[in-house]
Structure formats: structure tokens, C-alpha cells
Amino acid sequence: MITETIHDQEVWNNTLKTLPYSHVLQTWEWGEFKRETTGWLPTRLMFKEGGVTVAMASILTRRIGPVTMMYIPKGPALCYENLELARTVLHELKKRARFALWLKIDPDVVIGTGIPDTNDETTSPSGVAFRDLLQASGWQFSNDQVQFRNTIRIDLTKPEDDILMGMSQNTRRKIRTAEKKGIIIRPATLDDLETLYNLYQITGERDNFLIRPPQYYEKAWRDFIQQGLAHALIAEFENKPVAHVILFHFGQTCWYFYGASSNEERHRMPNYLLQWEAIKWAKSQGYQVYDMWGAPNQFDESDSMWGVYQFKQGFRGITIRTIGAWDYAPYPVLYRAYNTLRRVLHR
């Protein structure tokens, strides 16, 4: 296998689109965004066999003093059903991480669908096989799951009417309620960035989650909208913004990355109509999957995402469970010490 470092944005993104398990967090733009906002430095590797690109990995590297950490967000991109290919790529990545504290990967390899211990639960043999390969190769399930491990996906290849009629009766009713009660959905522009952040800040305060400074989100949203990788929708009542969604899209998938709403007019159900308009927009652009970006780790009321999950369930996508994030740590003692310190600092 030949490994090349890519320095051309167009070559990187255009090739990445052709690979299985490609993700917007593996794009050129995401690497540059993390470089400029958080100091992670991207290295973009292309793996070739017989002149054909078979895998790609955008590796983010960060150094804190003598410590080096490496992360491949939602990657690498390759055909994970080909275990020999996966084994070879993992071996190459481990060689690159020989002086790091850890190297983290978290590709969207599906290990099962449906809620565990229910009648609709299924297991993916190829996902289980890759998980077993990771364990046998010295990787370990990470205590630090950076991205959502599970999600809900909607099949956009179905006719629009079938997608709508497949939703729960309650969800369809609330979509109609929003329309009847005067909610209007419009595309957002760069002039709306301050509005988008203000709504996000209100949501964070109401739902008790921390958010970054406005410059972080405004840069992410602006850069990705300008690059044609993001699209935002705003719900308004009487010309006043009351909710929004921000979609990221790449390859065959459109992700619902951000959502927010004000404390006013919630009885008009703007979030339901927003999701429906987002699904219709994604389908109109030719995307095959609408990923609702996030489902609980524990499928019960103890999980902090349970309420959001119930909202998403109404759209009747498929609950997807992936293998999650896995770490390779060449120095196990240092890795264990790091995890202990991280837990202390987190508390």
C-alpha cells in the first residue's frame, strides 16, 4: 500500500466523496476550521493500492507540552467490510502514532440498528467483525466519546409523501399545527449569523448545556455555508425568528448538526415544521440520507438525550448504533494516567 500526503483541497474533497463512510468531519474545510479555532493541525493521508485510492484519513494532531494527541474525526473513510484493507490501514495509522499519547478513531461503522433488547433490534455482522479486529489489534473503546455514538437516519430515496406518511401521527399533526399557526420557514443568510447564535445561546441556557463563544460558531457556520457544505433554515412568526436548524452536507448525507429555539411561540411547534422542511430540502438536493445527529447511549430516561430522542423518533427514521470511538495508546501506563487526570478535571 502506498500512502500520500495531500495538499490540494479539491483533490481531497472530490476523492473523499467517492469512498464508503465519507463524512463532513473528514473534509478539507473541517480540518482548517479546527486548525484556526482550536489548534488541531490536520494531516491528510490518501492510501492507494494499484494506483486506486482505497482509504483516506484526515488526522488532527495537537501538542500540549511534551504530549501529542491524534484524532481522526468520523474516520478514516474506507470499506470496513473489507477486513484485510481495514487491518492494513490501521497498521499504517498505528505507525504514525508511535510517539503519541493516543490516536482516536470513530468511523460510523454500524454495529446494530434499533433499540437494544427490543423486537426491532438487529446486529451487523460486519460491524461486529470490525470491532473484534480493533480489540485484537490493541485498540480499546474510548472513555472519551467526542462525537455522538448513535443516531437516527431517514432514507431520502423514498418518495416525499411516503416519508411524511411514515412519520408518527403526532408528528404529522404538529407539522400541520405549525403551518396553521403562522410559522414560516425561510433560508438563512450570512446576515442572520447573529440571530442564529442568539437562539442557540437561549437554548443552551434553557436546556443547561455549555456553548462556545460566538466567534467559534459564527466561523463554522459562515465558512461552511460559503463553501457550500452547510445550509441553515429559520422559523419565523410574524417576521420574528423563533427557531432554526443548521444542516451540514457532504457526499450522500445531510446532517442536522445544530438546532435552537426561543422561549416564545413554542406552542406553535416550529421545530417540527423546521425538520420537515430540512428533510425536503436535503431530498431536493439529491442526498440519500438525512442524519439527525445524535441518539442516547443508554436507551432509557436516565440518558440526558432521552427527551430529544423522543422528538426525533417521531420522524420514524432508523435508530443506528455504531462502534463509537476507539483509542490506540502506544504507552498504556501514560494513557491510563491521562484518563484518570481527565476524569478528575472533568468533575
User: Where are the domains positioned within the chain?
Assistant: 2-108+325-346, 153-320
CATH class of the structural domain 153-320 = alpha beta
Whether the pLDDT of residue 65 is over 90: the answer is no
The pLDDT value given to residue 171:
98
Tell which CATH classification among 3.40.50.2300, 3.50.50.60, 3.40.630.30, 3.30.559.10 matches the domain 2-108+325-346: 3.40.630.30
Work out the percent of the chain whose per-residue pLDDT is above 90: 92
What is the pTM assigned to this prediction? Answer: 0.95
Whether residue 155 contacts residue 288, with contact meaning beta carbons closer than 8 Å, is answered with: yes
The pLDDT value given to residue 121:
92
The pLDDT value given to residue 73:
98
Indicate if 153-320 has the same CATH topology as 2-108+325-346: yes
Whether the pLDDT of residue 339 is over 90: the answer is no
What integer is the mean pLDDT of 313-333? 97
pLDDT in tens, 205-259: 998 888 899 999 999 999 999 999 999 999 999 999 999 999 999 999 999 999 9
Angle at 104 between CA 12 and CA 341, to 5 degrees: 140
Query: What is the number of other CB atoms lying within 10 angstroms of the CB of residue 290?
Result: 27
**Nearest residue to 314 (alpha-carbon basis) of 177, 122, 169, 121:** 169
The pLDDT value given to residue 343:
79
Work out the percent of the chain whose per-residue pLDDT is above 70: 99
The pLDDT value given to residue 117:
86
Q: At what angle do helices 28-38 and 9-16 cross, to 10 degrees?
A: 120
Query: What is the number of other CB atoms lying within 10 angstroms of the CB of residue 235?
Result: 27
The pLDDT value given to residue 157:
98
Q: Where are the alpha helices (DSSP H) in the chain?
A: 9-16, 28-38, 83-96, 125-136, 160-165, 169-180, 193-207, 214-226, 270-284, 306-313, 332-346
CA distance 28 to 185: 31
CA distance 151 to 153: 7
